[in-house]
C-alpha cells in the first residue's frame, strides 16, 4: 500500500491510502491509534461518505466476524496509525463464549441488512431502486424454468418497505415490469425472467433519465 510501514500489529498510513475496498475479502479488523479514516461506499458515479472515524474507533469487524467481503471502502484522510487484530486470534477469543459469538453474528447480520437497504436508498429514482434490489437478490436466487426465484416472500408492502416508497408506487413499477415480460409474479413468489434483460432495462431508464428528462 504505497509507502505504508508495517511493524508487528501496527500499521502507518499516509493521506489517501486505502486500507481495503468494498467487496475485498477481509481477515483483519483495525483500531485507530491516531489519524482519521473515511468509510465510504460507491453510489452511482460518486463515493458516498458513510462515516469518518478517529482515534479510539475500530472498523473492519463485520468481515472478521462473519467472513463476508468488505461492505465499504476505508481510506486514510490524514496520516494514520492503526492497530491490527487478526481474524483467527479475535474469533478464538469470541468462541470461548458461545453467547457472545451468537450475539455478534446476529448483530452483524442485522447491520449487513441495513447496509444493503442504505445502498438502494441512495438511488434517487424509485424504479431504479427496485430494479437494483431485484438484480442484487437475483444473484443469490434459485434458478427455475420460469427464471430466477427471488429469495423473499413477495408482497407490495414488503417491497415498499425495502425500497422506501409507497405500495401504490411499487404496484405501478411491478405492473410495468410485468408488461415488459421482465418478471413473473405468482402469489408470494417473484421471478426475474432474464437478468440480462433486466440489466439492459435498468441501463435504458438510466439513459432516459439522464438525456431525456424522464424519471
Report the alpha-carbon distance of residue 76 to residue 95 in Å, rounded: 31
Q: Answer for the pair 157, 169: CB distance below 8 angstroms, yes or no.
A: no
- The string of pLDDT tens digits covering residues 163-178 is 778 888 899 999 989 9
Q: Which of 69, 102, 119 is the last residue of a domain?
A: 119
14 and 96 in a single domain? The answer is: yes
Strand-pairing partners, residue 49, are 40
Model pLDDT, residue 113? 61
Model confidence pLDDT, tens digit, residues 103-115? 777 777 767 665 6
Q: Is the domain of 51 the same as that of 115?
A: yes
Q: Which CATH number goes with the domain that contains 26? A: 2.60.120.10
Do 109 and 198 belong to one domain? no
Q: For position 114, what pLDDT does the model report? A: 57
To the question of pTM greater than 0.85 for the whole model, the response is no
Segments forming the whole domain that contains residue 47: 5-119
CB 26 within 8 A of CB 63: yes
Using alpha carbons, select from 68, 150, 160, 140 the residue that is nearest to residue 111. Answer: 68
Structural domain ending residue among the three candidates 119, 151, 179? 119
Residue-wise pLDDT for 2-34, tens only, equals: 444 443 488 899 999 999 998 898 888 899 999
For 7, phi then psi, to 5°, come to -140, 105
135 versus 80: the higher-pLDDT residue is 80
Amino acid at each position: 500500500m504505497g509507502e505504508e510501514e508495517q511493524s508487528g500489529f501496527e500499521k502507518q498510513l499516509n493521506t489517501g491510502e486505502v486500507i481495503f475496498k468494498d467487496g475485498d475479502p477481509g481477515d483483519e479488523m483495525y483500531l485507530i491509534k491516531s489519524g482519521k479514516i473515511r468509510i465510504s461506499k460507491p453510489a452511482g458515479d460518486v463515493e458516498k461518505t458513510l462515516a469518518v472515524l478517529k482515534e479510539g474507533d475500530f472498523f473492519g469487524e463485520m468481515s472478521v466476524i462473519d467472513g463476508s467481503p468488505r461492505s465499504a471502502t476505508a481510506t486514510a484522510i490524514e496520516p494514520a496509525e492503526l492497530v491490527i487484530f487478526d481474524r483467527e486470534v479475535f474469533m478464538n477469543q469470541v468462541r470461548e463464549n458461545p453467547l457472545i459469538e451468537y450475539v455478534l453474528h446476529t448483530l452483524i447480520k442485522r447491520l449487513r441488512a441495513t447496509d444493503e437497504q442504505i445502498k438502494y436508498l441512495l438511488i434517487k429514482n424509485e424504479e431504479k431502486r427496485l430494479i437494483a434490489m431485484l438484480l442484487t437478490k437475483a444473484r443469490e436466487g434459485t434458478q427455475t424454468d420460469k427464471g430466477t426465484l427471488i429469495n423473499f416472500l413477495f408482497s407490495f408492502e414488503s417491497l415498499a418497505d425495502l425500497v422506501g416508497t409507497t405500495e401504490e408506487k411499487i404496484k405501478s413499477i411491478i405492473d410495468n415490469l410485468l408488461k415488459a415480460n421482465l418478471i413473473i409474479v405468482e402469489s408470494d413468489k417473484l421471478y426475474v425472467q432474464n437478468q440480462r434483460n433486466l440489466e439492459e432495462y435498468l441501463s435504458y431508464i438510466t439513459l432516459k433519465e439522464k438525456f431525456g428528462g424522464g424519471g
